[in-house]
Structure 1
Amino acid sequence: MSEQGAVCYTFEAAVEMAIKMEEEGFRNYLEAIRKVKHKGAREILKEAALDELEHKLSMEKALLDGSMAGSGELEAKVPTMHLDYILEKKELSASSDTREALVYAIHLEKGSIDFYRRMAEGCSGAPMAGLFQKILADETRHLQSLEDMYEEHFMTEN
């Protein structure tokens, strides 16, 4: 199988792929919500699922409009702490807590970032690169928010 990011797609095909990616992310969060019993963990997963739905809706609107709206300032990627490298990815269970839910969400978002980065690189120099850069920036902002929450609640300075 060839690497997905090695080719560039038409606007419609690219947006359809992004919609599929966001739908898959939403389904992963929904499955996790159904599994986890801890109230705080469920809330984190619910917020992340709602973000996926917002992304999907904006892309579906873009299909209707024939373009992806957005301002340049929101298209810049934000720095992240790369917590996915130090936090072990685990499947969630009924007894998973808030920390485990955050780690799960961090890894799902990192997967989305990797997908959109490959797509942007595959379309480098083409008009579609801008679309994937915008989505990539959106995803990095979401990852940064999750990492900030993890840092605030679970990383001590001692």
Structure 2
Amino acid sequence: MDFEGVSRRLSSLATQAPEPTTLARLGLGLMVFSAGVHKLLDPLAWSAYVVGWLAPWLVISPVAFMLVNGVLEVGFGAAIVADRFTAFASAVAAVSLTATCLYLLLVFVLEGGLFGDVLARDIGLAGLAWAVLVQSLREDGRED
């Protein structure tokens, strides 16, 4: 296999690809949007992430909580994909994903490793959301 040739071809393709910040924004937006859609289609599956000691703290049932989150995520995800109100929508995603990571870390510690796989994934998604937020704020700052 000619690794140098493959590397040259990939470099050539990369020059034609969208900007990395656009790819990050679209990836985050599609993730938030699709998670919201899935929460609306199957809120019971998502309610499994509400452990027993958290449920009494919610003012609504875990299923209703997921439905509300689903509606919000569809809207924020669509805004990020459309590149409208990106700073606000990605800030919501970044704060929400960071809070989710903290919750999952607490559950992981208190519940003997529960949701460790989801925690590992969501740490990366939170980082992606913060990166999209910082980039959108930089772009907003240049428009002044």
Q: TM-score surpassing 0.5?
A: no
Bigger-Rg structure (1/2): 2
Q: Which has the higher contact order (CA 8 A, sep 6+)?
A: 1
TM-score by length of 2: 0.42
What TM-score do you get using the length of structure 1 for normalisation?
Answer: 0.39
